[in-house]
Amino acid sequence: MKYDLYIKEKVLEAILMLYQVKPNVDHVQVQHTRKEYKGDYTIVAFPLLKYSKKSPEQTAEEIGKFLHAHIIDVAGYNVIKGFLNLELKNDYWLSEFKKAYSEIGFGIVKPDAESKITAVEYSSPNTNKPLHLGHIRNNLIGYSISNILAATGKKVIKTNIVNDRGIHICKSMLAWQKWGNGETPESSGLKGDFLVGKYYVRFDQEYKKEIEQLVLNGMSRPDAEKNAPLMEETREMLQKWEANDKKTIELWETMNTWVYAGFDVTYKKLGVDFDKIYYESDTYKLGKSIVLDGVKQNKLELREDTSVWANLENEGLDHKLLLRADGTSVYMTQDLGTAYIRHKDFNFDEHIYVVGNEQDHHFKVLKIILEKLGYAWGRHIYHLSYGMVELPEGKMKSREGTVVDADELIDEMQSTALKISEELGKLDSLDQEEKNKTIEIIALGALKYFLLKVDPKKNMTFNPRESIDFNGNTGPFIQYTYARIQSVKNKAHDKHIKYSELSESLTIDEKEVQLIKLIKLFPEVIAESAETLNPSVVANYIYDLVKEYNQFYHDFPILKEPNENLIKFRLQLSDLTGRVIREAMGLLGIGVPERM
């Protein structure tokens, strides 16, 4: 039983014994004591006054006295206004430490036959441009949340939907047809996704010129945007594609092949993967079929122009277009098909979509339409909405070519990591091969940690150089602490110090107890992070743990401690701290080097 639940049981017992009344379980609140107060667990007295009929202070004092007498692990207590703070004995924390140290995979829950199945969709790239900084945040959130959910015992299916069709894809196809002159990744020396992205930008440039010319000729801007020749050609190409025109399909397949090869390189660099990849070009057909079935069942509305709509007025929303009058589909159509086939493939208990907050309304509508069409599992989909990531100089725009490409950013991070490491002399002792590998780990760790330490719901600014700081709340600072722990262990090994067993009688310092308390929180941190779908909970926990360890390392000798039992204990404490750091960073998809 978790210790807070044990304390809760004892508080219920105390109320019954002290005030002769059986309390409501929900009125007993037990929480971790805040850092600024002395204690380990805090009981809130205010909801209990209805039983004691006394002041908050007197109630807390009486319950504290009872718990001190009836819980063997309680060393003492203090009352601050209406809060009762319990302090546990050092022997209790030492016992908890020994349990954690002996447990393989401390904090991680393995799935079993009863585990819930959770599908997580992330990445969702368009095949008209390379992955950029915004995609990096998406991939890192999705990948880390998948790891964190799996660490709570869930069976997690990591999925990706590639948006490989639609008018935006036709823009880059049309531009390549007009201005590409047969250019290929091989002939240009460009990654395939970079090459296709180049023509997406070119389309926008030429399209804007046409708009401005039409406006100069007296057309209103909205009409110019709609009727520009390039836009009309793009709509025609989309209709040809949906009609399965051979030449259009061949061009589409060729350019998509270039892009997929480019994406694979980026995913590998970033260290993310998927269990199943879906393609909009497949799922939109199923979505159209689902929509047409909804019309037959009178659940959706077929209008005179043959467009299909969902009437959401009863849900307090407007009407939602699902099929255009020309028969082409919209994003919602594709998402209906993808959700359906994904549920058929995996029979998931819940489905999490990692998509930017500009799509909040879209996923609210998707959920409603699925339920309206009779798919009860639709109520179990959830939108993990995240904020925008910007650079210090401001927002990025794909069509204008002002985005920071993922590959270029990763390369820049490695250059910056190398430069800073050389300035600080951090890697002087490593040979070139190990140095290159360590630089890669540091660079990716800096990038990932900087993006994941911020609550996904918040907008954020990414500063590459600031992220590669060997001090403060950064990936390299955490990685350096892990390497420091490995160095201590290696020195112990060289001195032939064995520390697998501890003496039963051992007196430890309050600082060491504080470190144990933080380690003990690891399973709760994983659970909270999974419950809130927030990787920053894990990230900032690691930083707190590392700060506490570095303070301990600074204040207490390890190998030079004269007491042999304390040497062994401090080596074990260092070892377990390192294991938790490695495990927690792994949940975020971040590696830790053995030497720095």
pLDDT tens-place string over residues 336-372: 999 999 999 999 999 999 999 999 999 999 999 999 9
The Cα 13–Cα 25 span in angstroms is 11
Q: What domain range includes position 196?
A: 122-390
Q: Judge if 225 and 271 occupy the same domain.
A: yes
What are the beta bridge partners of residue 434?
none
The alpha carbon dihedral of 522, 526, 529, 535 has a sign of positive
Burial degree of 538 (CB within 10 A; 0-12, 13-18, 19+): buried
The pLDDT of 302-330, averaged and rounded, is: 93
Q: Which of 36, 68, 88 is the last residue of a domain?
A: 88
Domain containing residue 269: CATH number: 3.40.50.620
Question: Has residue 328 been placed in a domain?
Answer: yes
Q: Judge if 459 and 369 occupy the same domain.
A: no
The Cα 213–Cα 551 span in angstroms is 67
Domain containing residue 510: CATH number: 1.10.730.10
Q: Judge if 170 and 233 occupy the same domain.
A: yes
Q: Which helix (H) or strand (E) holds 309?
A: strand 308-311
Contact 549, 478 (CB under 8 A): no
The Cα 569–Cα 579 span in angstroms is 15
Contact 563, 493 (CB under 8 A): no
Q: Which of 88, 113, 148 is the last residue of a domain?
A: 88
Q: What is the pLDDT of residue 417?
A: 87
CA atoms in the 13 A half-sphere facing the CB of 355? 20
Q: What is the pLDDT of residue 175?
A: 98
Q: Judge if 367 and 450 occupy the same domain.
A: no
Q: Which percentage of the chain shows pLDDT scores above 70?
A: 98
- Name which of 546, 562, 393 is nearest 478 in CA terms: 546
Q: Judge if 336 and 454 occupy the same domain.
A: no
Q: Judge if 362 and 428 occupy the same domain.
A: no
Q: What is the band of 428 on the pLDDT scale with cuts at 50, 70, 90?
A: confident
Q: Judge if 356 and 453 occupy the same domain.
A: no
Q: Judge if 501 and 543 occupy the same domain.
A: yes
Q: What is the band of 161 on the pLDDT scale with cuts at 50, 70, 90?
A: very high
Question: Has residue 127 been placed in a domain?
Answer: yes
**Helices 246-270 and 167-179 meet at what angle, rounded to 10?**
100
Model-level pTM?
0.92
Domain containing residue 59: CATH number: 3.30.1360.70
Question: Has residue 400 been placed in a domain?
Answer: no
Q: Judge if 482 and 572 occupy the same domain.
A: yes
The pLDDT of 173-189, averaged and rounded, is: 97
Report which of residues 71 and 467 the model is more confident about: 71
Contact 329, 323 (CB under 8 A): yes
The Cα 69–Cα 75 span in angstroms is 10
The Cα 465–Cα 443 span in angstroms is 10
Q: Judge if 318 and 439 occupy the same domain.
A: no
Q: How many domains does the chain contain in total?
A: 3
Place of tokens 């794909």: 398
Contact 263, 136 (CB under 8 A): no
Q: Which of 390, 406, 428 is the last residue of a domain?
A: 390
Q: Judge if 60 and 145 occupy the same domain.
A: no
Question: Has residue 451 been placed in a domain?
Answer: yes
Q: Judge if 131 and 238 occupy the same domain.
A: yes
Whether 142 shows a pLDDT value over 60: the answer reads yes
Contact 368, 312 (CB under 8 A): yes
Question: Has residue 596 been placed in a domain?
Answer: no
- Tell me how far apart the 2 most distant CA atoms of the chain are, in Å: 92
Question: Has residue 428 been placed in a domain?
Answer: yes
Reported residue count of the chain is 596
Q: What is the mean pLDDT of the chain?
A: 94
